Amino acid sequence: MNDSEHCCICGVPAEYVVRTLCRGEYGRDWQELPQVYQDRPYCVFHFFVLQEHTQEWIAQQTAREAHREGLEYIRRHGLRGEPYQPV
């Protein structure tokens, strides 16, 4: 990494660089494709905040999809109520 790279959010020296990843030919491996979007440097704090945010977003999307599937099941079978929602 370049010494001149700074976090794209706060400007402190970056320790991580996030690059676009894409499946390689025949889906065997991953290869970096920086032409899809420019490399994004992050400091330690913002890198882990971004990673945590991404994991939370994926979990929410998965829960929403499961909820939709539960609602579709209820509608298909003519049942009443909502699917179980853990607290």
65 belongs to a structural domain: yes
54 belongs to a structural domain: yes
Residue 21, beta-bridge partner list: 32
Q: How many domains does the chain have?
A: 1
30 belongs to a structural domain: yes
pLDDT of residue 2: 56
More confident residue, 74 or 59: 59
81 belongs to a structural domain: no
pTM of the model: 0.51
More confident residue, 20 or 87: 20
pLDDT digits (tens, 9 = 90+) for 20-35: 776 666 556 666 665 6
Whether the predicted pLDDT of 74 surpasses 80: no
